[in-house]
Copies of this chain bind each other. A is one copy, B any other.
Amino acid sequence: MSTYTLDELAQRFGLQSSGDPATAVHGVCGLKPGKPGHLGFLSNPKFRDELASTAASIVIVSPRDAPALKGAGLIAADPYLAYARIAALFDPDRDFEAGVHPSAVVDATATLGTGSFVGATAVVEAGAQIGEGAYIGAGCTVSRDAVIGAGTRLVARVWVGPRVTLGARCQVQAGAVLGSRGFGNARGPQGWEEVPQLGSLVVGDDVEIGANTCIDRGAIDDTVIENGVRLDNLIQIAHNCRIGEHTAIAACTGIAGSTRIGRRCMIGGAVGINGHIEIADDVIVLGRAMVTGSITTRGVYGSGLPLDDAREWRKTVARVRRLGRMEARLQALERHTRIPVGTQEDDKNV
């Protein structure tokens, strides 16, 4: 268990401090109730009251909140970001000893970078390249001719398909499947026939991929995940997609084939995105939306219907189904009263 003083943290992270420089912490905590010997942060001003009562020994605050500190504090322009960096000091799962576990199966033609690790029962196939300081956790498979960049971490039981390449400093959670066969099928006289998927998957640097997320390899060209992308758990990305730099996608979202998503987008959870469309840079899609066509301008988009009492909801569904009838009744009234009416919509043109 590592311990750091206020002074040490201020110097290491280039932050101003306030309070006793010898105040020491050996872990992190929330502000409410907080824990002595631990470090917390205040990012959302809504929780400013907690500063007065927290038991945390050090709190990271913005310059605006600094006057409200009761004890020791670190002052950061972005307290959450400062917390993210400082908290890494207390992460017990980051360090590992380089080497290959005796139960791992590493092909003689694979290359292992300096300081890399291959865990218990992991498999590294012929021609695969493991970068410097990369971590291949227990039960992972790195298939033939795949490339794992320097400092990349496959937590456990990740499958990396043939010829897939991952950049540097990526992190892939347990159970992810990278470079699986895309869902390409052609109708033949006897039923579906397999369309060989001969492209691969290229993942950039600093990408995170969540647990049990699946990314298919391309049919002809490659599926591409650009630098800095963040993918949560249980996401499906189909063949030939391209996800732009620094885009973040929440859990349970599915993206059909050949779709391109721009840079710095934020896609909510359980969103469904159609194939063969394009989404511009800086688009935000709210959770559970259905994206059927291209989005050409940045902005916030949604389509989910929020919850209601089930009885009330059933009535609403029935009313939605009666909308055509309601429009006809409206039209009859307008005719009857002869009020001036704009263009009548025509369902045939929908």
Contact of A316 among B85, B159, B321 (CB under 8 A): B321
Interface residues of A in 55-98 (CB under 8 A from B): 78, 80-81, 83-85, 87-88, 90-93
* Contact of B254 with A254 in the complex, beta carbons under 8 Å: no
Q: Would you call A192 an interface residue if the criterion is a C-beta within 8 Å of the partner chain's C-beta atoms?
A: yes
* Complex interface: chain B residues within 8 A of A286 (CB): 310
Q: Contacts A162-B93, A173-B181 hold; do A84 and B319 have CB atoms under 8 A apart?
A: no
Give the distance in Å from the alpha carbon of A305 to the alpha carbon of B304 in the complex: 7
Task: Please encode chain A, from 275 to 290, with 1 for each CB lying within 8 Å of some chain B CB and 0 for all others.
Answer: 0000000001111111
* Contact of B306 with A302 in the complex, beta carbons under 8 Å: no
* Contact of B274 with A289 in the complex, beta carbons under 8 Å: no
Q: Contacts A123-B121, A315-B324 hold; do A180 and B173 have CB atoms under 8 A apart?
A: yes
Interface residues of A in 90-131 (CB under 8 A from B): 90-93, 101, 103, 105, 119-121, 123, 125
Contact of A270 among B162, B272, B327 (CB under 8 A): B272
* Contact of A212 with B214 in the complex, beta carbons under 8 Å: yes
Give the distance in Å from the alpha carbon of A243 to the alpha carbon of B161 in the complex: 29
* Complex interface: chain B residues within 8 A of A187 (CB): 78, 81
Q: Would you call A15 an interface residue if the criterion is a C-beta within 8 Å of the partner chain's C-beta atoms?
A: no
Give, as a whole number of angstroms, the nearest-CB distance from A319 to chain B.
4
Q: Would you call A203 an interface residue if the criterion is a C-beta within 8 Å of the partner chain's C-beta atoms?
A: no
Contact of A155 among B180, B216, B233, B308 (CB under 8 A): B180
Give, as a whole number of angstroms, the nearest-CB distance from A84 to chain B.
4
* Complex interface: chain B residues within 8 A of A177 (CB): 173-175, 211-212, 233
- Closest 8 A/B residue pairs (Cβ): A319-B323, A191-B228, A252-B254, A300-B310, A177-B211, A318-B350, A180-B211, A159-B174
In the assembled complex, 10 residue pairs joining A and B whose CB atoms fall closer than 8 Å, in A order, are A81-B186, A87-B195, A88-B194, A91-B198, A141-B174, A173-B177, A185-B208, A326-B326, A333-B339, A336-B337
